[in-house]
A and B are shown apart, each in its own frame.
Chain A
């Protein structure tokens, strides 16, 4: 049996388009710069985030290499965390020539829906080695309470 990728000239133009899209997706699937999650505009959501949870708090981590802590803005409202900032382009002289530019630059903004409402006054953020870690606490009044069952 032959296992070559065959090109079939189908009469369905939509099928051909879908195939092209599939091939395109596969070609970029390995590239780290293309985050798998797409925003509403269809572009890759930046920055990619990981989320961690404990009983009464949630932690969000994200990779922002080369960004200064002063250039990161974090805001919290109810259950939405918004990250914005700028990755500045490196400063080079006029005579410099670029041979490769893969690192993304520019302004970014992203809102993330958290699993619960958080207290905006109790947010901690740390930035080390280009990794941002934000810890958010559930407000006291929203915490689940254990209800004792009494024997009649």
Chain B
């Protein structure tokens, strides 16, 4: 049951050759999803993205994250060798009904976006007494 609390959206799966209108590539960042008793934590690797450069939108239970890169360009240098590319990051996750959408928190620390998605307060099972007529 817990397996489908957060599903990975299949759109753009593995596509890192998409280009933005700014001419930058869009990468699908690596993510960790962990569920605890109280909620779900998502960690997304976004190196080069600062705390002000992340857009998070929630629409119809689909959480979309977009990180704008601050390209690394050492001043006075020319590139001579490259193993990795730089670009924006985009990924979407669909949330289950268990998540309290109003209480989602996000923070960026050293290039990692941490999303905290608390669960809604569990509905307590009620015992209904059967009264003898």
Report A's interface with B, CB cutoff 8 A: 30-33, 35-37, 45, 48-54, 57, 59, 61-68, 90, 92-93, 95-104, 115, 127, 129-131, 133, 135
Contacts and interface: CB of A to CB of B under 8 A. Distances in A.
Contacts of B15: 30
B77 A59 contact: yes
B111 A130 contact: yes
Contact of B16 (A32, A66, A100, A131): A32
Interface residues of B, number: 46
B63 to A, nearest CB: 14
B72 A133 contact: yes
A100 B30 CA distance: 10
Given A129-B70, A130-B48, A100 B8 contact: yes
Interface string B1-34: 0110110100000111100000000011111111
B43 interface: yes
A50 B110 contact: no
Interface in B34-64: 34-37, 40-41, 43, 45-50
A48 B48 contact: no
A54 B110 contact: no
Contact of A129 (B35, B47, B77): B47
A67 B70 CA distance: 18
A126 to B, nearest CB: 10
Please give me the 3 A-B residue pairs with the lowest Cβ-Cβ distance, nearest first.
A130-B111, A65-B111, A52-B77
Nearest to B30: A102
A93 B16 CA distance: 34
Given A51-B81, A61-B74, A100 B33 contact: yes
Contact of A93 (B36, B77, B79): B36
A90 B43 contact: yes
B77 A130 contact: no
A80 to B, nearest CB: 15
Contacts of A96: 34-36
A104 B31 CA distance: 10
22 contacts: A30-B16, A35-B84, A45-B83, A50-B79, A51-B81, A53-B77, A61-B72, A65-B111, A66-B111, A66-B112, A92-B41, A95-B36, A96-B36, A98-B32, A101-B32, A102-B31, A103-B32, A115-B80, A130-B45, A130-B49, A131-B47, A133-B72
Contacts of A130: 45-49, 110-112
Interface in B64-80: 70, 72, 74, 76-80
Interface string B84-117: 1000000000000000000000001111100000
B133 interface: no
